Amino acid sequence: MFLPKVGAMDMVDIIRTKRDGGLLSTAQIRWVIDAYTHGGVAEEQMAALAMAIVLRGMERREIVDWTGAMIDSGVRMRWPGSVDKHSTGGVGDKITLPLGPLVAAHGVFVPQLSGRGLGHTGGTLDKLEAIAGWRAELSEAEMRAAPGGFVAAATADLAPADRRLYALRDVTGTVDSIPLIASSIMSKKIAEGTDGLVLDVKVGSGAFMKELADARELARTMVELGQDAGVRTCALITDMSTPLGRTVGNALEVREAVEVLAGGGPADVVELTLALAREMLALAGVDADPDAALRDGRAMDAWRAMIRHQGGDPDAPLPRARHTEDVVAERDGWVTGLDALEVGIASWRLGAGRARKEDPVQAGAGVEIHAPQGARVRRGDRLLTLHTDTPERFARAREVLHPHIGDTPPAPRALIEEQIG
């Protein structure tokens, strides 16, 4: 039986208050989150309130209260001296894979509770599960015994209110709300218990935030939530108008991450990995140039140790799709447009992503980029290679891909737009 921690309230009155543009009190917010977590608020009522928040927004005090109530719905962990990083999600965003070992190579513990992909954005756990034997489910004892850090699935008792509300928002069209996005991310990260947090807030066609002003507002909201909770927090706003790196898909991205750890890899992946590493090391009070750890092998050693700790074999061959198909240039020129959202959807349709959380993914599926935006190509050159185990998926993937080739090179893009905090 549901026993609320605070006095019973009228959920319909709370919905009406927000629907009409009013402010929810601290007591109302805490009651709603507690009651919903324990089954005392109907799904349709919570969906109505979420939609009212999408349409009417929240003031800062409400966001702080909402985030705090979700944190208090579960346990809090504690990792003294640690630093974490969170990305709001993008296409080809494999940065977590080389970044954690790179920072850990400097003696900083990096605990990362991560998630799976949904729709066109990839999930870190799906990528790592392409490695033979690697497992995402860890006990707290296994987490604390990790050599330098870990990437694991969040436990069910960490911000359970967010787990339930996120699933509801996903099926009710209420994902696109800065207060709800910020509180969802930060409730889990604050409950995780790190001392420092660097946020990678994506902006562009392949991101949740399509416009810089929205990305800036989200970044500022999350930085304020973190700092108010005593977590040293900063954010980089980074471009997601075109895919990051040369691969999109689980095993494909692991392969590229290992190239970065070996001192190679695409320039944009290396640039962003180093930029985020510098911020994380600064928050941890470590004065070091992370580039050296990529060149001298320390980051690779940390990667191998972390993979082994979670049952993975860093030497095992990565899965490869059984079928491939090329997309070629139809004319000479410069690649002036390779849209991140298009490539992300294509990868999803090839089997690298899922429409529902319980859907399986193909480890080897995805898109390999031979000519990124800005590349010079000739007619017949390979632009992309599509990978899948199920070749009937090729047609639907190709439908969404529209790489544009122009007569002049595009203007250079800034990978890092702004820093906040």
**pLDDT tens digits along 59-74:** 999 999 999 999 999 9
Q: What is the pTM of this model?
A: 0.93
Structural domains for the chain:
79-155+191-309 (3.40.1030.10), 323-406 (3.90.1170.30)
Q: Which are the catalytic amino acids?
A: 86, 162, 169, 184, 188
Q: What is the pLDDT of residue 166?
A: 86
CA distances from 2 to 8, 31, 75, 85, 183 (A): 11, 12, 19, 36, 24
Nearest to 160, CA basis, from 35, 75, 39, 74: 74
* Predicted confidence band of residue 171 (pLDDT cuts 50, 70, 90): confident
**Weakest-pLDDT range from 48-62, 165-179, 213-227:** 165-179
Q: Compute how many other C-beta atoms are within 10 angstroms of the C-beta atom of residue 39.
A: 11
Q: What would the pLDDT profile of 221-238 be if each residue is shown by its tens digit?
A: 999 999 999 999 999 999
Q: How confident is the model at residue 118 (pLDDT cuts 50, 70, 90)?
A: low
Q: Are 362 and 352 in contact (CB under 8 A)?
A: yes
Share of the chain above pLDDT 90, in %: 88
pLDDT at 202: 96
Mean predicted lDDT score pLDDT of the chain = 94
Q: pLDDT confidence of 7, banded at 50, 70, 90?
A: low
Show Cβ contacts of residue 372 under 8 Å, excluding neighbours closer than 6 positions.
242, 243, 246, 266, 335, 338
Tens digits of per-residue pLDDT, 285-313?
999 999 999 999 999 999 999 999 999 99
